Structure 1
Amino acid sequence: MSDFKQLIAADLACLIALEGACFSSPWSEGQLKSFLGASPTRFVLGWFNPELSGFAAFSVVLDEAELLQIGIHPAAQGCGNGRRLLKESLAILRQKGATRLYLEVRASNLAAIKMYQKVGFSKTGVRKSYYPPVERGCEPEDALLMSLVL
């Protein structure tokens, strides 16, 4: 069972915990709080089971949107929750008048790239050495640019 809703202040503590579980460099509490105001950033939250298990953050300007971040709790990964969250987010973006969605993804994130392609995203370019190295002594990583007509 899943339930999707937009971010409200009451969800902030859960989102902060989820960010920490999903990412080694999560957004700060201050950054997340700033998204509650007049920011063009919007969140879609996915409640799988009884707790918050996923979220997607978008910046929306006029008819274009950019996926800033999507995260699924590690315990809820691998069973289609990311794709379900993304598809629900696309429906919300369409309702809000967005006609195209852009994203960038680490070139080594093959699971995410596969999910984006299944949903219909196409590769549109590469940003060379965009992401910092994952480990000391490694090279910076490219970002793949992808887009989807909504």
Structure 2
Amino acid sequence: MTDNGSLFSISPLTPENVQEMYAVESQAHTHPWSLVSLEGCFGHLYRVLGIHQHNKLLGFAIVQQIVDEATLLDICVSPISQGQGLGKKLLLQVLAEAKACDAVVMMLEVRESNIAAKSLYEALGFVESGRRKNYYPCELSLNAAGKEDAILMDYCWQD
């Protein structure tokens, strides 16, 4: 998928892109996935998409789909590229591909403190379906226990 107005393109990533993914992941998240974890996300149950501009990886999404249930495992955009709607473009492509592969639900979890991501998910039709208490590590200034909740969200396609 290419956005002609801004020259952003979304395409599948391969294991050869893991170093680039790790660089984006490390910049975008306070508790990034390890290189080994990212390497483990390639195979028949996974779709890994990247958003590029001028051949530079600006963000990516990892989806695992088992039969008709898709799970957004990770989505991130490099901090210098945030605020341009790239996360939304990437998420819309993820949703379109999951639906094309017969998904009936897309599930995800998001840090309670990640207001921007929660707002995007809600704007696209995701609804809160549960919580995992004290799931994510966080800065002690956010919570005396050094943990914060994971908000579980689902997107269900309407027939």
TM-score, structure 1 normalization: 0.89
* Unmatched tracts of structure 2, length 5 or more: 1-6
**Residues 1:49 and 1:78: Cα distance change in structure 2 (over 3 Å):** farther
In the other structure, the counterpart of 1:27 is 33
Deviations 1:39-98 (A, max 9, x none): x23211111354110111111110001111110000110121111110011111111221
Deviations 1:2-38 (A, max 9, x none): 1111121332221121111112332222222222345
In the other structure, the counterpart of 1:145 is 152
Query: 1:13 is aligned with what amino acid?
Result: Q
- Taking the aligned partners of 2:42 and 2:10, their CA distance within structure 1 comes to 17
In the other structure, the counterpart of 2:57 is 52
- Taking the aligned partners of 1:28 and 1:94, their CA distance within structure 2 comes to 29
- Taking the aligned partners of 1:47 and 1:37, their CA distance within structure 2 comes to 22
In the other structure, the counterpart of 2:113 is 108
Is the contact between residue 14 and residue 48 of structure 2 (CA under 8 Å) also seen in structure 1? Answer: no
What is the aligned-residue identity percentage? 34
Is the contact between residue 63 and residue 94 of structure 2 (CA under 8 Å) also seen in structure 1? Answer: no
In the other structure, the counterpart of 2:101 is 96
- Taking the aligned partners of 2:98 and 2:65, their CA distance within structure 1 comes to 8
* Unmatched tracts of structure 1, length 5 or more: none
- Taking the aligned partners of 1:5 and 1:92, their CA distance within structure 2 comes to 11
In the other structure, the counterpart of 1:120 is 125
In the other structure, the counterpart of 1:83 is 88
TM-score, structure 2 normalization: 0.85
Counting matched residue pairs gives: 149
Is the contact between residue 41 and residue 62 of structure 2 (CA under 8 Å) also seen in structure 1? Answer: no
- Taking the aligned partners of 1:36 and 1:124, their CA distance within structure 2 comes to 27
